[in-house]
Amino acid sequence: MIKSITTSTKKLYNQDYQLWLETTLEQLRKGEYSQVDWENLLEEIEGMTRSDKRALKSLLTRLFEHFLKLAYWETERNYNQAGWKGEIQNFRVQIKDLLEDSPSLKPYLREILDKSYKDAVKITYKKTQLPSNTFPDAPMANVEQILDDDWLPVKN
């Protein structure tokens, strides 16, 4: 009987994801651990971890893009700076929300700082078509500055 319940729960995963979640949650609450679809549950938990890390990297890269545009794209600054500043605030809020929900991601933010910055330089270079030596090689901000609502980049 247990095997058929687990098999039907596994089928449910592919047929009705929301119902699978609700069923799995109920099984865990009731302590019916032998009925839980552990394979898919572990895969989902692992996916959540990767998803949060991907989101954090994406937000950090986009934040650096806007820092770079604000500091170096002079021909567009007057027209676009209000929008860029708004996006900077938006990305900061989202990063802070992620870190509030998962404080253990803060070391990861430090770990991906250089890579995210380099990715942002590549993207911003293509968008702005500024000379390739326009942007500094090293990140223009540390983690504390990135999260500081009052900090904005200035051209070095």
Work out the angle at residue 101's Cα, subtended by the Cα atoms of residues 86 and 57, and round it to the nearest 5 degrees: 55
- Residue range 39-64: mean pLDDT, rounded: 92
Helix (H) or strand (E) holding 95: helix 74-101
**Alpha-carbon gap, residue 70 to 89, rounded angstroms:** 13
In this predicted structure, the answer to whether residue 137 has a pLDDT above a threshold of 80 is: yes
Q: What is the mean pLDDT of the chain?
A: 91
Q: What is the DSSP code (8-state) at residue 35?
A: G
Model confidence over 107-120: pLDDT tens digits?
Answer: 999 999 999 999 99
pTM: 0.78
Q: What is the DSSP code (8-state) at residue 151?
A: -
Model confidence over 6-15: pLDDT tens digits?
Answer: 557 788 888 8
Q: Which residues of 10-45 are buried (b: 16+ CB within 10 A; e: fewer)?
A: eebbeeeeeebeebbeebeeeeeeebbbeebbeeee
Structure tokens at 115: 């890579």
**Alpha-carbon gap, residue 82 to 99, rounded angstroms:** 26
Structure tokens at 69: 């545009």
